[in-house]
Amino acid sequence: MNPLNSVGHREPRVDALLRVTGKAEYTGDVKLPGMLYARLLRSPHPHARIKSIDISKAQALPGVRAILTKDNCDTVWSSGDSLGQRKLFNNPLRFTGEAVAAIAAVNRHVAEEAMSLIQVDYEVLPFVLDVDKAMEEGAPEIHPGGNLSPNNQRRREPQTYTRGNAAKGFTEADRVFESSFTSSHHNNAQLELRTSLAYWEGSKLTVYASTQGIVNCQRDIAKDLKLQEADVRVICHYMGGGFGNKNQSHDFDLFAALLAKEAKAPVKVEFTRKEDFVAVHGRWSSKQQYKIGVKNDGTLTAIQMVAKTGSGAYRKSSCDLSGTEIYQVPNLETSTTPIYTNTAVAANYRAPAYPQGVFGIESAIDDVAYALKIDPLEFRLKNMTRKFRDQTPYTSFGLEDCLRKGADSFGWKQRWKPVAGSGAGPLKRGAGMAMGMFGSALGRSSAVAKVDAKGNYSIHVGVTDCGTAAKTTMGLIAAEELGVPLNKVNVVWGDTDTCPYSVGESGSRTTVQTGDAVIQAVKDLKKKISEQGMPKGTDEVMVMVTTNPAQIQGASRQSFVAHFAEVEVNVETGNVKVTKFTAAHDSGRVVNPLTAESQVQGGSIQGIGMALHEELRYDQRSGQPLNAGYYGARIMTHMDAPQVDVLWVETEDPYGPFGAKTLGEPTIIPTVAAVANAIYNAIGVRMHDLPMTRERVLAALQGVKA
């Protein structure tokens, strides 16, 4: 791969100084004159009908300026569900924590006092928390029409994929294996609390949001408040993480706008950490069943997956499962059925459909490899995908190198035990691995490029930089194309008044899609300069481009990844410690190896948390969330986090900015499965349920003894 001048070098972030001095202004830091603070009153019941709400005492409290409830607000929050029907205030209430009233007051203490003065008369309804029970005859109906959640075409049917004929594939197999796996709802849990600040100037609305996509947020707010997009300005200069749950407008953006209108003053809505866990969303849970047909030599003949996923009380995202696509198999059938329950809503969290699906298929495949006495690494090298859906070639393909070079770097031969569970104990070590892939499609985005008379360049992009270093990435791409150092490029971002459309930081698309727009903008700018010369005095030369490349015909563009984990399992306590972790990634050319390393290490460590301890639990009798918060949900800490060794497998890809492919989401895709397979190698017992807590590891070990 030919080296470049700016791209491919370890560059600190362009905004790092502001981030380490406390000067980066996050949404919650913005304060406007006369600003009011808002709080939400929420349902204490998992399923209830509001008979009446009495706000009179709250209204009478000095300092209360506006109260919204279902009685005076029927605004639809269209990105709140895939049908575009979810309202800000719903009746019946379908999960513990659903919004009942929003209150704006002169300070947060008064708003909190006012909350306790609102009297709600609830008719408590029967509820259901489990996807299987929700599909039983006579189960409480969460939405009219039943608990099988309709897709965005309003059809109540599973999401399916078929190639070949699985039944035929199983008859051709020497052996057929069946197994099942479950995963839990767990939360994105970004550090920044949910907040939004809105104010009106006549019919013009400005929202300081915390969003991964300022333009998407602007579009959604305009739609739901029936405004022109040009009349809605969304600003987000710094935001404290999102991991997929901030790419549309949120109900708090709408609450802020509506309360501000009612109170005729700027309103800041703030959610508590508990509200973030129960009332926004997390990754959907799953129950997965696999049937795998294989020849004695390890050739796959058929894979069938039948799954249910838990969408929670509303269907906000696909609730699909991925994973089986990483295998070459002539006969494949998958079916995923999203189901409503009276629990927190599930939606996008970093590679939304992947880590739990890959946990299932990669655990099932691991069992097959052991049963056939084939090294799981060799089994994967034999059966890994070579063409997308066994049909379409890849634009570049680094999966085999991720497996081979990753295994070498990790020391697979030395660490993996041919006989699972063969260590002496009580501390048993074992190694496991898993692989994955993630689409890296081209797509529409825009960019503005400018130069002034002094030769200072500016790039305007509609990104917010949720922590991925997107601003720096855009700056590096522009610098490379301009042939100037990074410090000559000023990146302007995070404000719909000054920045054009960007896809939003979801689907790991910014580097590729907005990066392509930046390259084109710079090319056009250079052309314009060559035609009319550099600007003079206070003039600028400026271009704006929108790139919308045609989708690649006859080839599929994907990023690939293989993760390798070594664990130490204490068979007396059930504790699992990750002792070595290697992440091998093919994301094409790596634009900034320093910040990309942060992405891989962070995604992997998040995945280890998902594997070992994170879940949102509910009391089965009351429907109350039990552990909504950092401490209870056991997210990863400094002490939990192992060193993650990052290995780049840089393939040359003909598309994307300088051949860069997707990175952010692949970093978590195979992590959970690699840890699960390492636990199996250590203890010789298969873990079927996420998270693999100490209690579950001990129970699994005792199951063997019994």
Partner 1 sequence: MKKISRRLFVEGTGAGIVAVAIPLEGQAQSAPAAPTTASNAPKTTIKLTINGQQRSMEVEDRWTLVEVLRDHLQLTGTKIGCDRGECGACTVLVNGKAVYSCSQLAVWMDGRTVQTIEGLAQGTKLDPLQTAFIEHDAPQCGYCTSGQLMAAKALLNSNPKPTREEVRAGMTGNLCRCSNYNHYVEAVMAAAGTLKSGGAA
User: Are β-strands 36-42 and 267-270 bridged in parallel, bridged antiparallel, or unpaired?
Assistant: parallel
Give the residue with the Cβ less far from partner 1, 506 or 599. 599
What six digits make up the tokens of 173? Answer: 């197999």
Write phi, then psi, for 488 (nearest 5 degrees).
Answer: -90, -5
Give the residue with the Cβ less far from partner 1, 420 or 616. 616
Select from 208, 212, 189 the least CA-distant residue to 509: 212
Write phi, then psi, for 657 (nearest 5 degrees).
Answer: -65, 110
What six digits make up the tokens of 298? Answer: 């390890």
Q: How far is the CB of 61 from partner 1 (least distance, A)?
A: 6
Give the residue with the Cβ less far from partner 1, 43 or 556. 43
Cis-peptide into 500, omega within 30 deg: no
Q: How far is the CB of 16 from partner 1 (least distance, A)?
A: 4
Is 129 in contact with 303 (CB distance < 8 Å)? no
**In sequence order, which residues have a C-beta less than 8 Å from that of residue 683 and are 6 or more positions away?**
420, 421, 428, 430, 569, 571, 697, 700, 701
Amino acid in the structure at residue 611? A
Q: How far is the CB of 465 from partner 1 (least distance, A)?
A: 8
Select from 213, 242, 79, 210 the least CA-distant residue to 152: 79
Amino acid in the structure at residue 162? T
**Rg over CA atoms, the chain:** 26
Q: How far is the CB of 209 from partner 1 (least distance, A)?
A: 15
Give the residue with the Cβ less far from partner 1, 320 or 465. 465
What six digits make up the tokens of 118? Answer: 């609102």
Give the residue with the Cβ less far from partner 1, 146 or 241. 241
Select from 500, 455, 543 the least CA-distant residue to 218: 500
Give the residue with the Cβ less far from partner 1, 33 or 554. 33
Give the residue with the Cβ less far from partner 1, 422 or 643. 643
User: Are β-strands 576-586 and 644-648 bridged in parallel, bridged antiparallel, or unpaired?
Assistant: parallel
Q: How far is the CB of 63 from partner 1 (least distance, A)?
A: 6
Give the residue with the Cβ less far from partner 1, 254 or 644. 644
User: Are β-strands 332-340 and 300-312 bridged in parallel, bridged antiparallel, or unpaired?
Assistant: parallel
Q: How far is the CB of 218 from partner 1 (least distance, A)?
A: 21
Give the residue with the Cβ less far from partner 1, 8 or 338. 8
Is 207 in contact with 253 (CB distance < 8 Å)? yes
What six digits make up the tokens of 11? Answer: 């560059």
Q: How far is the CB of 491 from partner 1 (least distance, A)?
A: 16
How many C-beta atoms surround the C-beta of residue 535 within 10 A? Answer: 17
Q: How far is the CB of 595 from partner 1 (least distance, A)?
A: 6
Q: What burial class does residue 542 get, using C-beta atoms within 10 Å of its C-beta: 0-12 exposed, 13-18 middle, 19+ buried?
A: middle
**In sequence order, which residues have a C-beta less than 8 Å from that of residue 702 and are 6 or more positions away?**
none
Q: How far is the CB of 168 from partner 1 (least distance, A)?
A: 44
Q: What b/e string do you get for 336-360 counting C-beta neighbours within 10 Å, with b at 16 or more?
A: bbbbbbbbbbbbbbbbbbbbbbbbb
Task: Give every strand in the sheet of 64-69, ordered side by side.
Answer: 64-69, 99-105, 36-42, 267-270, 195-201, 204-208, 232-235
CA distance 158 to 150: 9
Q: How far is the CB of 104 from partner 1 (least distance, A)?
A: 14
CA distance 366 to 363: 5
Give the residue with the Cβ less far from partner 1, 39 or 557. 39
Q: How far is the CB of 467 from partner 1 (least distance, A)?
A: 3
How many C-beta atoms surround the C-beta of residue 293 within 10 A? Answer: 25
Give the residue with the Cβ less far from partner 1, 93 or 683. 93
Give the residue with the Cβ less far from partner 1, 117 or 459. 117
Give the residue with the Cβ less far from partner 1, 318 or 606. 606
Q: How far is the CB of 20 from partner 1 (least distance, A)?
A: 4
CA distance 78 to 74: 12
Give the residue with the Cβ less far from partner 1, 43 or 311. 43
Q: How far is the CB of 386 from partner 1 (least distance, A)?
A: 32
Helix axes 355-371, 376-383, angle to 10 degrees: 110
Q: How far is the CB of 578 from partner 1 (least distance, A)?
A: 12
Give the residue with the Cβ less far from partner 1, 106 or 381. 106
Q: How far is the CB of 530 from partner 1 (least distance, A)?
A: 37
Q: What burial class does residue 51 get, using C-beta atoms within 10 Å of its C-beta: 0-12 exposed, 13-18 middle, 19+ buried?
A: exposed
Ranges of beta strands (E only) in 328-426 are: 332-340
